[in-house]
Amino acid sequence: MEKVYDIAIVGGGIVGAATLYKLQTRNPHLSILLVEKENRFANHQTGNNSGVIHSGLYYTPGSLKAKNCVEGRHELVAFAKENKVPHDVCGKVVVATKKEELPYLDKIFNTGLENNIEGIEKISANQIKEHEPHVEGVAGIWVPCTGIIDYRAATEKMIANALGCQSNSKTVLGEEVIAIEKGSDKNILITDKNKYQAKHLVFCAGLQADRLARKDGVNLKEQVVGFRGDYYELTDQAKYKVKNLIYPVPNPDFPFLGVHFTRMTNGEIECGPNAVFTFKREGYGKTDFSFKDSYDALTYGGTWKLFFNNMSFGINEYRRAFSKRLFLKTLQGLVPSLTMEDLKPGRSGVRALLLGKDGDTRDDFRIEYHGNSIHVLNAPSPAATAALAIGGQIAEKAEQHFSLK
């Protein structure tokens, strides 16, 4: 355990990878360690999300989400082009299916203008059909800069490029950080297999962000609660009904974007996700259960506040999780010609929500400092799109905070 790294990063999702990449390329002299508890990178939120390069259309102007999404999108597309990461900037339509949704569609469009989303335009019902012939709607927004990407491949490429800058840097897979010993000039990361020394620590731990923050002595009032999203896929005979990306107008009272259609980089077309409370933070099956995760979530007042504030939505989401017919009915709101035979079960993903005690989903990105550590406490969607911008921000703050130069 003699070696002392300049920085250790905990978490090998795309935010951890982008942080390693930005820190290393900006400071090639530093030795950096990245520790990931799974046996491959991007195994949770990054590798199980919808694969969309988000435009930045929905986020509050001036927020970190809005700023980082737009900056990160440009960087991500440039990175993908340069490094031959599978991607396609194919555009998407956001569709209002009834007149009551038109004020919300206008609001989204105006937010997009404020966020400098290039090329967006309002489109009529006929124009929707020019992009997506099988969609029925009253009006929509065409967003040409939205795309799709293989986020696993992007994560792996960022890590490979970073390691190519410095032979003394390394990654460790299959080791979970179980304790942290803090010192004035160095810290010891204790995993379930080894111990590592580093002068500074950066935590990009996603679904485990709150637990690792507390292990590091952060007095965190909020708690991470997991929500599972289930997907269906279109069968081969139905793929012609969706060309690229189709989104509904999101309900402003519900903290998710709603069920949508996504063409993936491998040619599959996914429909989803729904959003249901999960009894296991890293559980992808409908009946997966962890006593610890369930106990932590269900003894936390913020979880119950969120349930009560979104009671009718929550019940509908649960019903849909176990009923293909109800899921289909939601999808038919956008593509009425879909049938039961057009859908087959797909994968699932879990998202981390940092919940306040009042049940409020801490919506914006949140990065905090604690002694000689930096913690990414909240990085919900569009964090994958924004990862390189977030990584750049962390690198900048680390250079100031840790006096790296």
Per-domain residue ranges of the chain = 4-46+152-222+363-401, 92-144, 223-245+252-361
pLDDT at 361: 83
- Tell me which residue of 181, 178, 160, 177 sits closest to 169, measured CA to CA: 160
pLDDT at 136: 97
pLDDT at 134: 98
Long-range pairs, 77-84, Cβ under 8 A, ≥24:
77/53, 77/147, 79/154, 79/157, 79/158, 79/388, 80/149, 80/154, 83/154, 83/157, 83/161
Which residues make Cβ contacts (< 8 Å) with residue 377, sequence separation at least 6?
A: 209, 210, 213, 220, 222, 354, 366, 367, 368
Q: Assess contact for 367 and 375: CB atoms under 8 A.
A: yes
Low-confidence ranges of the chain (pLDDT < 70): 1, 253-257, 405
Which residues make Cβ contacts (< 8 Å) with residue 82, sequence separation at least 6?
A: none
- Tell me which residue of 336, 400, 343, 335 sits closest to 374, measured CA to CA: 400
Kind and range of the H or E element at 26?
Answer: helix 14-26
- 307/255 Cα distance (integer angstroms): 12
Kindly report the CATH number that applies to the domain delimited by 4-46+152-222+363-401: 3.50.50.60
pLDDT at 99: 97
Sign of the torsion angle spanned by Cα atoms 256, 258, 259, 264: negative
Class of domain 223-245+252-361: alpha beta
- Integer CA distances (angstroms), 404 to 29, 108, 284, 398, in order: 10, 41, 40, 7
